[in-house]
Amino acid sequence: MMTNETKVRVRPSELEHEIDEKGYFVRQKNRFTTPFGEGEDQLPVEAGRYRLIWAKGCHWSNRASIVRELLGLEDVISINLVGRGKHEQNFGWEFVYDENSTDPVLGVQFLSELYTAADPDYQGRPTVPAIIDVTTGKVVNNDYVWLTNYLENEFAAFHKPGAPDLYPEEVRGDIDKYNDYLFDNVNNGVYKAMFAQSIEAYNDAFNNLYAAFDAIEERLETRRFLFGDYVTDSDVRLFVTLARFDTYYFRNLGPLRNRIVDFTNIWGYARDLYEVPAFKNNTYLRDLAKSRGDRSSIFIDYNTRFWDQIDYDKLWSQPHDRQLKSSDPQHKFKTR
């Protein structure tokens, strides 16, 4: 395997840079946040100019890959996956699925090379999702907070016929507000619990996470999806955390009050979304659960024992009755 290790920066550690004095995890801010649009200081919206880099395990980037397919942008924005290679030092995301571990379009081995090309002084973690301008070979946007909204709104001219309206203008403000709630308590909430370095920080994050799950379970009692009869951007954001909870996150969360399968409405809702090809195609459940722990002892973690024996697709494809909560049961999406 070819390597550019001598030119690549070692990945910064969250423990050194993203834990405060009380043991709370404080996620780094996104560096490349220039929005897409027609303004002078915005990124031009063009077909074929951008490449989305994402990772199976990263739910922030998984959102973008799902929305890209839902909207039919496959021929507008190219895509590639990164993973983790084996090296003496941690070099972060790498194009491990490609020949010679090199992206065939961008010609680099590590995602960090694209960050350095954009900002030689960048000191943070090179994160996914990352939008690369293929004409320059530089990261131009890694703003997971707004990226799916750009795909839904600014790239609307390139949507496939009949594409779902995931960001309806009449409820856009409510979606933005709810997305902030999901970020603080659920999406980033699991990380705040998993990465906490004090029991105080852990308990705060854990309690907020389950308070949010309880509120969501109640919300879904009378609604098929978070905002009623149709899937919105908020549903994509919630789904990617749900998909990882019982397959992956549970290992680092400590004693669980409930699994996702223990919430009647949330579990049915998650399976309802999984039926949609764009969700299923971009959710690698078995890959998320994959574990190579030490099998030489009788004390072996759950995923090491069973990840390759569980039929995750069958589990997530079990019947549900969520359509009964909708006034338009035959359709999951509202179109423009």
- Catalytic residue numbers read 58, 191
Q: Distance (Å, rounded) from C-alpha 288 to C-alpha 150?
A: 27
Of 32, 134, 123, 31, residue with least CA distance to 80? 134
**Tally of CB atoms within 10 A around 325:** 19
Q: Is the peptide bond before 329 cis (omega within 30 degrees of 0)?
A: no
Q: 3-class DSSP state for residue 176?
A: helix
> Do the beta carbons of residue 116 and residue 9 sit within 8 Å?
yes
And the tokens for 45?
A: 């919206």
Q: What is the 3-state secondary structure (H, E, C) of 199-234?
A: HHHHHHHHHHHHHHHHHHHHHCCCCCECCECCCCHH
| Interatomic CA distance for residues 235 and 279, integer angstroms | 11
